Amino acid sequence: MAPLIRGRELLESAVSYALAGAALGTPQLMQRPTPCPGWDLETLLDHVSDSIGVLAEAITAAGAGAGAGAARPGYPGPGRDLVVRLRGQAARLLGACAAAGPAERRVAIWDRELTASVVAVTGAIEITIHGWDISFACGGHRPVPPRLAAVLLSIAPLLITPGTRPGLFADPVRLPGPASPGDQLIAFHGRQPRPPPRPGLAAAEPSPRRMPVRGDSRESGWSISVGRQQAARSPQEHDRTGATDMTIADMTVLVTGANRGIGQALVTEALSRGAKRVYAGTRQPLAHPDGRVTPLTLDVTDAAQIQAAAESIESLDVLINNAGIALFDDLSDRAVLEQHLAVNLFGPYHVIQAFLPLLTRSRGAIVNNVSTMAVAPLPLTPAYAISKAAAFNLTQSLRALLAGRGVRVHAVLTGPTDTGMTRGFDIPKASPESVARAIFDGVDSGEEDIFPDPASQSLAASWRSGAVKALERENAAFVAAAPAAA
Ligand SMILES: NC(=O)c1ccc[n+]([C@@H]2O[C@H](COP(=O)([O-])OP(=O)(O)OC[C@H]3O[C@@H](n4cnc5c(N)ncnc54)[C@H](OP(=O)(O)O)[C@@H]3O)[C@@H](O)[C@H]2O)c1
């Protein structure tokens, strides 16, 4: 039996993915149809919150019997804002998981007794699939993160067999050619991962409401509540949602520090992915052969330049705060620390404030290129590490604060990369090109914290399943998600 830690990791990734999709859900979208026939977005969000609540209660009850801590009461419960409710339930579940005991512990789900690890894996599948449904209904069409999809894909066929599928899911959708793990997972669960665009159907009729049924889970066989409503749907029904496929191809991107190193690679990568326009922020004049690149004079410590840059742009989907400095020091000179904070902390802070109205309007994304040194300093560059730790913390707070506006906020915990910044360090380094690719992959797949190179990747799994990340999510649940003024 796989240890619970594995199931917990899966659950946490699934919850993180579903919350990223749900962050796109505004009150205006609540009557949108979803891939679940007869369910609009409001019904689906309510249903997923119920399911997560059932999971949290079951895991808490099982843990409490053996002295494990219970999920803390007092998180946002049922309320009018369904996205807030989902976040609150997710925080309860993650808290329950963190306090859970061994994988073999028996967990009661209604009248069934299962092991904790089976419950966690089953819950991860349900939350992931419905996370995709939510994102689809919101028009986000976020792919399931490849690593999560690959693991679930290896487990799902053991749980969803020809015998158990009827009544849970439509037949698997046959894909025409090679497909990503995310698309394969979605297709296996009877959904069309990438429906062809159907112009004119974007404003689909709201689906007839089905009242949410608390305790749906009871009737759903092996699952907590998974996909019971899928049975009657035909693959064609997906097309009715008219959701758009938001990839970098249709986007407007701004990169700071775009003239060299990782910034330059990000510009090239955005262009190769078909970005509509790339604003290249640089301190010195820049000429670029691609007509889609618009140079912007942008010293991130210069308030007037930031303001002028923001006023010169009409729309923006993705802001990448990449500009940075790293100097050797020993913390004996306060001026060096202030210099790092000015560029690496207050630089992104002011740039974000200036571009936030545009990002709010586009329901876009902010990507802050921090560093693994945000979580573990290299004492040769402590002022740099302090500034990156602060920038990472800024990223975490903004993630929670801006979710209600539909703006996603990503941190990139970059490891050693072969640029001017690491010249002289004789250590293994990733290429800036591979880091840039991984950053856009992470943004596309909705990863909150992106680990874009082999060195940082070694931290990814433990970070995502760790107590610190769980606490970040718990704390974030306290932020009201009521849309704030732009
Ligand atoms: N390389 C690594 O190993 C590594 C690891 C972790 C994180 N990172 C982060 O990745 C980002 C990019 O670093 P890199 O490796 O590509 O370094 P780099 O080659 O030294 O490039 C730094 C970029 O930042 C720009 N910049 C510096 N101060 C600026 C300011 N005040 N306003 C606007 N732009 C400014 C530079 O412009 P000029 O040409 O005008 O100086 C340059 O374009 C940084 O935030 C860095 O902390 C890098």
Q: Token pair 């000015």 is at which residue?
A: 342
- Mutation test of ligand 1: which of 254, 284, 419 has the most ligand atoms closer than 8 Å to its C-beta? 419
Q: Specify if 241 maps to a domain.
A: no
- Ramachandran angles phi, psi of 455, nearest 5°: -65, -45
Closest CA to 71 of 51, 45, 92: 92
The H or E element spanning position 282 is strand 277-282
CATH number of the domain to which 47 belongs: 1.20.120.450
Catalytic position from the list 75, 279, 349, 384: 384
| Sequence-ordered list of residues with C-beta below 8 angstroms from that of 302, at least 6 positions apart, any chain | none
Q: Specify if 114 maps to a domain.
A: yes
For ligand 1, the distance from its centroid to the CA atom of residue 287, given in whole angstroms, is: 19
Angle at 156 between CA 86 and CA 443, to 5 degrees: 55
Q: Specify if 9 maps to a domain.
A: yes
Q: Specify if 229 maps to a domain.
A: no
Query: Which parts of 166-277 fold into alpha helices (H)?
Result: 181-188, 261-272
Provide the 10 A C-beta neighbour count for residue 352: 21
- Residue nearest to ligand 1 atom 44, measured at CA: 324
Q: Are residues 30 and 133 in the same domain?
A: yes
Q: Specify if 485 maps to a domain.
A: no
Using alpha carbons, list the distances in angstroms from residue 305 to 32, 263, 287: 41, 19, 18
> Which atom of ligand 1 is nearest to 414's Cα?
6
Distance CA 286, CA 72 (A): 54
Instruction: Report the number of secondary-structure helices (H) and strands (E) in the chain.
Output: 14, 9
Residues 236, 242, 245, 246: what is their CA dihedral angle, to the nearest 10 degrees?
A: -160
Residue 77, pLDDT score: 42
Q: Token pair 């691609």 is at which residue?
A: 290
Q: What 3-state class would DSSP assign to 96?
A: helix
Would you call 349 a catalytic residue per the annotation? no
Residue 215, pLDDT score: 31
When divided into structural domains, the chain yields a total of 2
Given strand 365-369, what is the order of strands in its sheet? 293-297, 277-282, 252-256, 318-321, 365-369, 408-412, 449-450
Domain that holds residue 327: 252-476
Q: Specify if 245 maps to a domain.
A: no
Name the domain boundary from 220, 235, 268. 220
- Which residue type, as a one-letter code, is found at position 31? Q
- Distance between terminal CA atoms of the chain? 49
Distance CA 465, CA 482 (A): 28
Q: Are residues 132 and 27 in the same domain?
A: yes
| Sequence-ordered list of residues with C-beta below 8 angstroms from that of 220, at least 6 positions apart, any chain | 168, 226, 228
Q: Are residues 145 and 62 in the same domain?
A: yes
Name the domain boundary from 205, 220, 235. 220
Residue 190, pLDDT score: 87
- Pocket-forming residues, ligand 1, beta carbon under 6 Å: 256-257, 259-263, 283-284, 298-301, 322-326, 343, 369, 371, 414, 416-417, 419-422
Q: Are residues 179 and 79 in the same domain?
A: yes
Q: Are residues 177 and 274 in the same domain?
A: no
Residue 148, pLDDT score: 87
Q: Are 370 and 327 in contact (CB under 8 A)?
A: no
Strand partners, 296: 281
Q: Are residues 207 and 313 in the same domain?
A: no
Q: What 3-state class would DSSP assign to 2?
A: coil
Q: Are residues 150 and 295 in the same domain?
A: no
Q: Are residues 286 and 147 in the same domain?
A: no
Q: Are residues 179 and 288 in the same domain?
A: no
DSSP 433-450: HHHHHHHHHHHHTT-SEE
| Sequence-ordered list of residues with C-beta below 8 angstroms from that of 163, at least 6 positions apart, any chain | none
Using alpha carbons, list the distances in angstroms from residue 177 to 155, 345, 358: 22, 45, 38
Q: Are 351 and 285 in contact (CB under 8 A)?
A: no
Distance CA 397, CA 116 (A): 32
Residue 143, pLDDT score: 86
For ligand 1, the distance from its centroid to the CA atom of residue 258, given in whole angstroms, is: 8
Q: Are 230 and 289 in contact (CB under 8 A)?
A: no
Q: Are residues 105 and 210 in the same domain?
A: yes
Name the domain boundary from 169, 197, 220. 220
By CB neighbour count within 10 A (0-12 exposed, 13-18 middle, 19+ buried), where does 471 fall?
middle
> Which atom of ligand 1 is nearest to 373's Cα?
6
Query: Which parts of 143-201 fold into alpha helices (H)?
Result: 146-159, 181-188
Distance CA 207, CA 134 (A): 14
For ligand 1, the distance from its centroid to the CA atom of residue 408, given in whole angstroms, is: 23
For ligand 1, the distance from its centroid to the CA atom of residue 371, given in whole angstroms, is: 11
Q: Specify if 214 maps to a domain.
A: yes
Provide the 10 A C-beta neighbour count for residue 163: 7
- Ramachandran angles phi, psi of 288, nearest 5°: -135, 135
Tokens of 262: 């990782």
Provide the 10 A C-beta neighbour count for residue 197: 13
Q: Specify if 327 maps to a domain.
A: yes
Spell out the per-residue pLDDT of the chain, length 486, in tens.
Answer: 333 456 777 888 888 888 888 888 888 888 888 888 778 888 888 888 888 888 888 777 765 443 333 333 333 444 467 888 888 888 888 777 777 666 556 665 555 556 667 777 888 898 999 999 898 888 877 889 888 888 888 888 877 877 777 767 788 888 877 788 888 899 888 888 876 544 433 333 333 333 333 333 323 333 444 433 333 333 222 222 222 234 788 899 999 999 999 999 999 999 999 999 999 999 999 999 999 999 999 999 999 999 999 999 999 999 999 999 999 999 999 999 999 999 999 999 999 999 999 999 999 999 999 999 999 999 999 999 999 999 999 999 999 999 988 999 999 999 999 999 999 889 999 999 999 999 999 998 889 999 999 999 999 999 998 999 989 988 888 875 444 444
Closest CA to 90 of 474, 399, 406, 462: 474
Where b means 16+ CB within 10 Å and e means fewer, 286-312 reads bebeeebbbbbebbbeeeebbeebbee
CATH number of the domain to which 379 belongs: 3.40.50.720
Q: Are residues 278 and 369 in the same domain?
A: yes
Q: Are residues 215 and 256 in the same domain?
A: no
Closest CA to 404 of 139, 22, 23: 23
Q: Are 254 and 365 in contact (CB under 8 A)?
A: no
Distance CA 435, CA 266 (A): 8
Distance CA 129, CA 187 (A): 10
